[in-house]
A and B are shown apart, each in its own frame.
Chain A
Amino acid sequence: MFWDWNYAIEILPILARASIVTIQATLLGFVLAAVLGLVFAVLRMSRARWVSLPVAALVEFVRSTPLLIQIFFIFFVLPEFGITIGALTAGILALGLHYATYCSEVYRAGLENIPRGQWEASLALNLSPYHTFRDIIIPQAIPPIVPALGNYLVALFKETPLLSAIAVLELMQTAKILGSESFRYTEPITLVGLFFLVFSLAAAWLIRRVEARLSLSKV
């Protein structure tokens, strides 16, 4: 038989448990990406070139190399320098760093769209750079870029199967193990695909809600 319902139902709870790891990696990775991306974007705007240039170089470097290599680097190479991290943590760090560079470009576009008059009014009121960013610039820069950030959340989520390469027991790795044990790959892999579909749709719905909320509060 092509599709075994009994087997599918049997492995469903195992996959559901693994999906928690996937979601964990996604959310933590994205929080890291969102925060670090903002830091990169702000540092890259710095007028001090010894700040902006190295950050720009780092962003370009990370963006232009494959995520899989970065995952391997953090998990297998860093221990050579005495930094040993668990597989899941390494995966979250790699995902976060990689997507931080994409997010930083989105933030940069958002920040550059703030009219010069907002900066000038902040300066004229003697606000410090910190308060200018925190209270004036960032609250105006974020709402328009929520859709773009949301796209990266979904993209990051769909790249979590790469973590199976360093044996993180997320959905994909679990499905592979199930398959190799039972020699049935159809059910586990299909179910994993369905999990991703459902979560992606849910995330897209959530992002639309956040967008609507933001455009409402802006009046």
Chain B
Amino acid sequence: MTESPAPETSQPMVRFERVTKRYGSLVVLDELDLDIARNEKVAIIGPSGSGKTTVLRMLMTLEKIDGGVIHVDGEPLTHMERNGQLVRANESHLRRMRGKIGMVFQHFNLFPHMTSLGNCIEAPMRVLGLSRREAEDRARELLEMVGLRDKMGHYPSQMSGGQQQRVAIARALAMRPKVMLFDEVTSALDPELVGEVLNVIRRLGEEHDLTMLMVTHQMGFAREFADRVCFFYEGKIAEQGAPAELLGNPKEERTRQFLSAVLEAS
């Protein structure tokens, strides 16, 4: 990729630079290089254990990095500059950078003791310092966008999985992130509820300036929604490209095998 001292907008939104992650002797990510442009929608696919979820978890700072640097929005995320050198990020740097990133989890992870409105105003009030009124206005707007206007006072246990996941999306958006991470967000849902969540994500991509990374097994959705699909295999990107190309006409044997296995299962 050509690097020029360009205006900020041409910088990638997310850049993985030789990022390595190990669990003991197991190498989960092996010197990964990956650039994601502003507003790009990237789908990450691959067999389990290929490191695809780790990519998201490291971006969210849920996992420590063992080698390399991750940059977000033109700044190092995992590190910070001190006296012209990159040193490991401290907590205050991490907190500032984390604000640029939002994440939606496979198992929703809603706060069960709060209503959907409560879930969506907690962090805006405590972290962004919004007043309750401002936070509630913002939360109402977002819950309406995900089609849950009538569920604002409901607790997670009173809602279906699809509804809970939509609350989780609204909750993450309430922090106004620049990058949204979706970690197998439909995998824990009953089949008939998958569509409503994907529809919300689709609209999000159309109506908002958001960089989106999603780990998914929904090949149909990836093909239609993503700008690029990355196929992970054993901690590396084995193949990547435009969805129609990669999913329709994969070049690598491993990609072909994986895709046919997924197709058979569905």
Contacts and interface: CB of A to CB of B under 8 A. Distances in A.
Interface string B72-93: 0000000000000000000000
Contacts of B110: 121
A139 interface: yes
Nearest to A125: B123
Given A117-B105, A126-B175, A219 B158 contact: yes
A97 to B, nearest CB: 31
B126 A127 contact: yes
B127 A218 contact: no
A118 B103 contact: no
Nearest to A137: B111
A103 B95 CA distance: 33
A123 to B, nearest CB: 6
A154 B62 CA distance: 42
Contacts of B172: 124-125
Interface string B52-82: 0000000011100000000000000000000
Contacts of A120: 60, 62, 105, 109
B122 interface: yes
Contact of B60 (A118, A123, A218): A123
A135 B112 CA distance: 12
B257 interface: no
B113 A126 contact: no
Given A117-B107, A140-B113, A219-B155, A126 B95 contact: yes
A128 interface: yes
A214 to B, nearest CB: 10
A186 to B, nearest CB: 52
A117 B109 CA distance: 5
A118 B111 contact: yes
A135 B109 contact: no
B161 interface: no
Contacts of A125: 122-123, 127, 171-172, 175
A127 B127 contact: yes
B157 A219 contact: yes
Given A136-B111, A219-B155, A128 B126 contact: yes
Interface in B127-167: 127, 155, 157-158
A193 B220 CA distance: 74
A17 interface: no
A131 interface: yes
A124 B183 CA distance: 13
Q: Which 5 A-B pairs have the closest CB atoms?
A: A125-B123, A117-B109, A121-B109, A124-B103, A131-B126
7 contacts: A121-B111, A124-B62, A125-B172, A127-B122, A127-B126, A131-B126, A218-B112
Interface of B: 60-62, 95, 98-99, 101-103, 105, 107-113, 122-123, 126-127, 155, 157-158, 171-172, 175
Interface of A: 115, 117-118, 120-121, 123-128, 131, 135-136, 139-140, 218-219
Given A121-B111, A124-B172, 14 more contacts: A115-B109, A117-B109, A121-B105, A124-B62, A125-B122, A125-B127, A126-B95, A127-B122, A128-B127, A131-B122, A135-B126, A136-B111, A139-B113, A140-B112
